[in-house]
Amino acid sequence: MNNKIKQVAYVGFVAKGSVYAITGILAFLAAFNLGGQKAGKLQIIEFLEKQPFGKFLLAALGVGLICYALWRFVQSIQDPENMGTDGKALVKRVSFFISGLIYLGLGIFAIVDIFYEPDSGSGGSSSFLTGDIRTYCFIIIGIALAGKGIYQFIKVYKGDFLKKFNLASLSDATQRKFIKNVGYVGLMARGIMTSIISYFFLKAGFSLAGSDSSSMKGTTEAFQFIQQNSSGPWLMGIVATGLVCYGVYMFTKARYRQFSN
C-alpha cells in the first residue's frame, strides 16, 4: 500500500481518537460533578474553540478528521486491503463510505468554525426534513445505527479487530494486553452509545404523534439517558471511561496498526 495513504490513515486515527477521548473525559467529569459536560462531536469542536490556541486546535483536528474521511473513502472505493466484492465485503465498504462522509463533514465543520462568527440577529434554525421524509430518515438512520452497535459487540465477541495489530510481533506482553483491553472496553462502550442513539432515532421515527421527531438526538442525549436510568453517576462514568479507552485504542491503531499490501 502507498505510504502516503498509510500516513493519512495514521493522522486520521489520532484525530478520531482525540474526539472520543475528549468526549469520554468531559462526560466522566460531568458524571461526578467535577466540571466537564455531556458532549457530542459538534460540542467537542465548540469546546476546543474556547480553549487557549483554540483555532489552532480546531485546524489540526479538522485536517485530521478529513484525513480519516479520506482513508475511509480509499477503503471503500479502492479496496487497498483486498476485502473483495462479496456481500459481507460490500456492506463494509458502503459503511466505510458513509463513515467517510460523516467525518468529512465534521472536519469541514471544524475548519469553517475557525472563521465563523455567529449572527446574533438570526432567529433560530429550521430543519429541511419535514413530515414523512423526516420519519423515514429517522427510521433508516436508527436501523443503520442499530446494525453498527451490534457490529461493535460482534467485534468484541470475536476479537477479530486484533488481527490488524499483528500482536505476535510485539515482544512486550504488557503492551499486547493493554491493546487488547482498551480495544475490548472501548468497542463495548461505543456499542452501548451507538445502540442508545439508535433507540432515539427509532423511537422518533415510529412515534405515531410525531412529537418525538422534532429534533435529532445524539451523544449528549445518550449520556443523559444513561444518567437518568441508573442509580447514580457510576454507569455514566463507566461508559465515559470506555469512550476514553476507545480513543486510546485509536491511538494504538496509529502506532501499531498493520496494513495489508
Q: Which residue has the higher pLDDT, 171 or 176?
A: 176
Kindly indicate the confidence band of residue 38, based on its pLDDT and cuts at 50, 70 and 90: low
Q: Which amino acid is at 164?
A: K
Q: pLDDT digit string (tens) for 213-230?
A: 445 556 677 777 776 766
Dist CA 93 CA 30 (whole Å)? 36
pLDDT at 131 over 80: no
CA torsion sign, 44 to 49 to 52 to 56?
positive
First to last CA, the chain: 5
Domain spans of the chain?
3-117+130-256
Predicted confidence at residue 126, as pLDDT, reads 41
Share of the chain above pLDDT 70, in %: 80
Map grid coordinates 433560530 to a residue. Answer: 124
Q: What is the pTM of this model?
A: 0.80
Map grid coordinates 419535514 to a residue. Answer: 130
pLDDT at 165 over 90: no
Q: DSSP character for 82?
A: -
Alpha helices by DSSP H, the chain: 3-31, 41-49, 54-77, 87-115, 131-158, 173-206, 219-228, 234-256
Kindly indicate the confidence band of residue 69, based on its pLDDT and cuts at 50, 70 and 90: very high
127 close to 109: Cβ distance less than 8 angstroms: no
Q: What is the mean pLDDT of the chain?
A: 80
Instruction: Residue 56: count other Cβ atoms within 10 Å of its Cβ.
Output: 12
